[in-house]
């Protein structure tokens, strides 16, 4: 793995980091299915902007839309992190002078229409599937459908192939968003009923649900003349494809990795030739039959790994195993950061109290309840220590 900061190492440039994650799905998904606004999730997701602290340099500035708890920032300082200048504002335009903007995802800010369109296509699950098919890459079993009849026919073809579960995908969305998992025929009938009311004017992708053995995630940087591989990690997702953590130090068979890189490299050369420049995340997986699917979707943007990789690279100099977990919970009373930290320190074995780092601490109040989403990084030379702490975190409760 490589620290991506070397790609931004330019004394003459000051960067303004901007976590515009809410732009990812805005006005992009065709309105086939109703989009429900989730106030709590929106607030929690925006606060993931705290991750930018770990990649920004001292001379950089970070545009923040939510003010972290002072005790959390003090905690990071005690851990040795120098906090860059934090600007609390929703207004990018009035804060961008004299800075090179590094957004989470490219928008139309000072960019050509063609480039914004290219980024949109690279983040589009449909377009990437078509591109993979053009290059002869192994793709999951599935079909594009333009009508109810085509969808019904495709569903039963997949069932005939032996798929007990299927999934309908919309073009945009990550971490499980944009996936409609159909566990039973009743689920499929419910989707059909909705689509029949809506009409036949749509394009949908339906795929067989492959049982995943391992999720492979690659981060690279595409420059004008060079493609730099930065890391290969393994995402942890639940049975519905929802993300809950990352293994930053996975081990893979060398022959598999060579095969993997050989298959995906020509695709990335094509993406570079199309004119894309920047960070690129690739989601891949190996199924339970050991079939490799090298490109499931592409994230033409920063990813969580992008932000945390400088920290992970430093930790890996000392620790062999590094993993992260997301802790979500709801409670009636507000939990201050220090209270949460003290509870962790009490529950974890005392000798492991220096083997974790809280990298995000986000919360939102709604309907007299407090919702929390907290990111924690675990590191040790003993994998059992990490598993022990993750198990404790999973059962930890607050009232």
Give 231-274 pLDDT, tens digit per residue.
999 999 887 778 899 999 999 988 988 989 888 888 888 999 99
Q: Where in the chain is the domain with CATH 3.30.70?
A: 309-395
Where does CATH 3.30.470.20 sit in the chain?
Answer: 120-133+211-301
pLDDT grade for 112, boundaries at 50, 70 and 90: low
The confidence band for 223, taking pLDDT boundaries of 50, 70 and 90, is: confident
Rounded-to-integer distance, Cα 160 and Cα 145, Å: 17
User: Under CATH, which number does the domain 309-395 receive?
Assistant: 3.30.70
The three-state secondary structure class of 311 is helix
Alpha-carbon distance of 41 to 26, in angstroms, equals 15
pLDDT band, residue 27 (cuts 50/70/90): very low
**In the sheet where 85-88 sits, what is the strand order?**
85-88, 61-64, 15-18, 100-103
b/e sequence 364-380, b meaning 16+ C-beta within 10 Å: beeeeebbbbbbbbbbb
Phi, psi of 357 (to 5 degrees): -140, 130
Does residue 178 surpass a pLDDT of 80?
A: no
Average pLDDT over residues 138-165: 96
- What are φ and ψ of residue 103, in 5° steps? -85, 165
Percent of the chain scoring above 70 in pLDDT: 92
Residue 195 CB neighbours (<10 A):
19
Residues 36-70: pLDDT tens digits?
668 898 999 999 999 999 999 988 999 999 999 99
Indicate the DSSP class of residue 34. P
> Contact at 8 Å (CB) between 73 and 83?
yes
The answer to whether the CB of 100 falls within 8 A of the CB of 13 is yes
CATH number of this structure's domain 142-208: 3.30.1490
pLDDT score of 325 more than 50? yes
Q: What pLDDT sits at residue 331?
A: 94
Q: Are strands 204-208 and 142-145 parallel, antiparallel or unpaired?
A: antiparallel
Report the alpha-carbon distance of residue 337 to residue 78 in Å, rounded. 14
pLDDT for 26: 57
Whether the CA torsion 393, 395, 396, 399 is positive or negative: it is positive
Phi, psi angle pair for 276, to nearest 5°: -75, 140
Q: Worst-scoring range by mean pLDDT, 132-141, 239-248, 340-349, 353-362?
A: 239-248
Better-scored residue on pLDDT, 116 or 281: 281
Task: Name the superfamily (CATH) of residues 120-133+211-301.
Answer: ATP-grasp fold, B domain (3.30.470.20)
3 state DSSP class of 347: helix
Angle between helices 70-78 and 337-347 (to 10 degrees): 50
108-117, 158-167, 250-259: which range is least confident on average? 108-117
Q: What is the mean pLDDT of the chain?
A: 89
Planar angle of CA 46, 47, 53, nearest 5 degrees? 115
The segment(s) of the chain belonging to CATH 3.30.1490 are: 142-208
Q: Does residue 71 carry a pLDDT above 80? A: yes
């Amino acid at each position: 793995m490589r620290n991506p900061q070397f790609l931004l190492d330019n004394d003459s440039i000051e960067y303004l980091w901007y976590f515009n994650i809410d732009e990812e799905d805005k006005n992009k998904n065709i309105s086939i299915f109703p989009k429900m606004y989730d106030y709590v999730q929106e607030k929690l997701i925006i606060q993931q902007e705290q991750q930018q602290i770990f990649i920004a340099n001292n001379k950089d500035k970070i545009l923040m839309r939510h003010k972290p708890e002072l005790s959390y920032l003090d905690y990071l300082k005690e851990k040795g992190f120098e906090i860059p200048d934090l600007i609390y504002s929703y207004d990018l335009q009035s804060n961008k002078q004299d800075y090179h903007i590094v957004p989470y995802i490219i928008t139309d800010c000072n960019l050509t229409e063609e480039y914004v369109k290219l980024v949109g296509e690279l983040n589009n699950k449909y377009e990437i599937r078509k591109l993979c098919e053009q290059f002869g890459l192994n793709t999951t079993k599935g079909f594009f459908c333009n009508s109810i009849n085509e969808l019904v026919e495709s569903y039963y073809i997949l069932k005939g192939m032996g798929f007990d579960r299927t999934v309908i995908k919309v073009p945009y969305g990550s971490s499980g968003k944009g996936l409609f998992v159909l566990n039973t025929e009743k689920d499929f009938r419910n989707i059909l009923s909705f689509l029949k009311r809506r009409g036949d004017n749509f394009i949908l992708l339906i795929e067989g649900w492959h049982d995943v053995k391992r999720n492979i995630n690659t981060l690279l940087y595409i420059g004008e003349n060079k493609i730099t591989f930065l890391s290969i990690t393994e995402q942890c997702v639940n049975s519905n494809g929802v993300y809950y953590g990352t293994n930053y130090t996975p081990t893979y068979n060398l022959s598999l990795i060579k095969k993997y890189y050989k298959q995906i490299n020509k695709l990335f050369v094509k993406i570079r030739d199309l004119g894309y420049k920047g960070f690129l995340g690739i989601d891949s997986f190996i199924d339970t039959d050991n079939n490799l699917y090298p490109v499931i979707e592409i994230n033409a943007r920063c990813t969580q790994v992008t932000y945390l990789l400088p920290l992970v690279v430093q930790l890996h100099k000392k620790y062999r195993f590094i993993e992260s977990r997301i802790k979500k919970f709801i409670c009636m009373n507000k939990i201050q950061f220090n209270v949460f930290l003290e509870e962790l320190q009490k529950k974890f074995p005392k000798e492991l109290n220096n083997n974790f780092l809280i990298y995000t601490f986000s919360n939102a109040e709604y309907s007299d309840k407090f919702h929390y989403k907290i990111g924690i990084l675990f590191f040790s030379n003993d994998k059992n220590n990490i598993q022990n702490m993750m198990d404790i975190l999973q059962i930890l409760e607050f009232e």
